[in-house]
Amino acid sequence: MLGTVMLGGGKEIKSLLKSEKVSPVALVVMLIVLFLLRAMIVQFAYNSVAPKLIGNWSSVSDKDRKFDSLTFNEALLFTILISFLFI
């Protein structure tokens, strides 16, 4: 009954977990790699877009326009925050 109600990727994940083809360790490693890739994309996107956004704010004085780039650890924490809030 549960298999007929599920739509989208849920069926595929359930069938992958039932099959002997994919081990749980490989699945966890794949999820960690994808999560780290998401953090790298967040880091790149923030460091590319934020200086332009900060520079375009007319109400911000010149001394406050100092931009600090996002480190990988900060990008990883931001990705974790967003994933817990919105996903």
What's the average pLDDT block by block, 10 residues per block, for the chain (87 residues)? 54 64 84 88 81 66 67 82 74
CA 30 remoteness from chain centre: 14
Q: What is the dihedral of CA 68, 72, 73, 76, to 10 degrees?
A: 110
Q: What residue segments make up the domains of the chain, in order of their start? A: 23-86
The pTM of this model reads 0.54
The predicted pLDDT at position 1 comes to 46
Q: Left if phi > 0, otherwise alpha if psi is -120 to 50, otherwise beta: which for 29?
A: alpha
pLDDT value of residue 33: 92
